[in-house]
Structure 1
Amino acid sequence: MSNILENITSGGIWPLLVGAIIGLILGWIIWGRKKFVGDLTSEGEGQLRAEADSLRARVNELEAEAGDLKGKLSTASSDATPSTATSAASDDDETYALEWRNRYLAARVKYLEGRISDAPNAKPAAKKKAAKKVVKKAAPKKAPAKKVVAKATKAKPAKKVVAKKAPIKKAASPNAKYLAEVRKYDAKASAAVVDSIVKYCGISLRSRDSSLVACSDEKELNTVATGFCTKKLGMTKGQKELVKDVCVQMKGQRFKNRVTFYYLCAKSARKMKVFK
């Protein structure tokens, strides 16, 4: 036992640590960068299973070695002198490296087992069902359309249209213009009264000067007062005042028609019955 400890202490722990580190790097290069592309085939699955089994065996071996090493260290620590304390510490470092390696391999085994369990099972392609032939039924034949013969109808004789004779319009009264002038002052003026006044004026209406009454001419006003108001209307007083009042009524009209002037004189004097 003492010889084993002397061999370990004489060689040192550093070569073992360097070897472990190199192994870790090589393991990472080999296994860490390996990629799996696509689905696993039967051959690939077998390779993974074999690799997992070998790794599992390696893990068991490392665990056994670690257990043996721990047992040796425990016995050596009880029998060792203070001079061998440094060698025991180096053995602890080696044990730690082995445990770390063991954990890595165990994780790798789990990863490979997961890959195997996730591999899809190949299923045979389903047989295609033969498509049924669809036979279209022929459409029933349509019955031939019956010919429709239109019966000739005798045209009825057109009715004779007799044009109605247009009603004969009565000729406008020759005194209509005088009536229109009078109705500017009296909308309800009687056409019969106006016709009587026109008849009374007679020939005086043919000339433009004699058909008008000039209120600025005193001689003209005296003629109307004596000739029309006194003789025709039968007034005995107030004739001149009546004539001047009618001039005021027709103040807005420059040319005062004689028929209209006489009508207003008779109306103001209340002598309309003379012309009815």
Structure 2
Amino acid sequence: MSKIDEKLEQYITASKELNLGLSADIITKVTQDLVPAIYQRDSEIVSCSDSSELDTVKKSFLQKKLGLTLDDAELDAAIKKVCEEMGSSNRNKYRALFYAMLAKECGREDFYA
């Protein structure tokens, strides 16, 4: 099994355990988009308690990558909702799942179609 296949299996299992309602297809596409970041522990996980990281998620992913033009308050609300959906006690908020959830929350799953 390749390294990416191992990560995909890990993320799909985590998504099911958390009842995130993500398809294996979107998890696969987001994961492939995040290589090589998923292979480094620090960049593989999103910390919802780190405001600078969440600001980077907003600017680099939501605004730049997905091209969202919503105001900051709406983007912050989407990020907060995903943090809550993934669970405050969940210390492994995998970036691939986090980004897939944000795309879903913001109605941009088509970006990964």
Q: TM-score if structure 2 supplies the norm length?
A: 0.82
Partner of 1:201: 34
Match of 1:246 in 2: 82
1:236 shift after superposition: 0.8
Q: Please, which of 57, 74, 91 is the counterpart of residue 224 of structure 1?
A: 57
Q: Aligned AA for 2:78?
A: L
Is 1:179 matched with 2:12?
Answer: yes
Q: Larger RCO: Structure 1 or Structure 2 (Cα < 8 Å, ≥ 6 residues apart)?
A: 2
Identity of aligned residues (%): 30
Find the aligned partners of 2:13 and 2:92 in 1 and give their Cα distance: 15
Over residues 196-244 of structure 1, what are the superposed CA-to-partner deviations in whole Å (9 max), with x where a residue is unaligned?
Answer: 1001111111111110111111110000001111122221112222112
Give distance in 1, aligned partners of 2:51 and 2:104: 22
Query: In 1, Cα distance between the equivalents of 2:13 and 2:52?
Result: 28
Q: 1:210 is paired with a residue of what secondary structure?
A: helix
Structure with bigger gyration radius: 1
- Structure 1 214/186 Cα, relative in aligned 2: closer, same or farther at 3 Å? closer
How far apart, CA to CA, are the structure 1 residues paired with 2:67 and 2:91? 29
Please identify runs of 4+ aligned residues in structure 1 that moved more than 3 A: none
State the distance in 1 between where 2:10 and 2:58 align. Answer: 25
Aligned residues: 105
Residues 17-166 of structure 1 mapped to structure 2, 5 A cutoff: none
Alignment check: 8 A CA contact 1:182 1:260 kept: yes
Give 1:269's aligned residue: 106
Which 5+ residue runs of structure 1 have no aligned equivalent? Answer: 1-170
Give the AA of the match of 2:61.
Answer: F
Query: How big is the shift at 1:254?
Result: 2.0
Aligned residues of 1:226 and 1:239 also touching (Cα < 8 A):
no
Matches of 1:240 and 1:247 in 2, distance apart?
A: 10
CA RMSD of aligned residues (A): 1.8
Q: What is the match of residue 44 of structure 2?
A: 211
In structure 2, runs of 5+ residues without a counterpart are none
**Residues 134-157 of structure 1, C-alpha deviation per residue, up to 9 Å, x if partnerless?**
xxxxxxxxxxxxxxxxxxxxxxxx
Contact preservation (8 Å) 1:182, 1:263: no
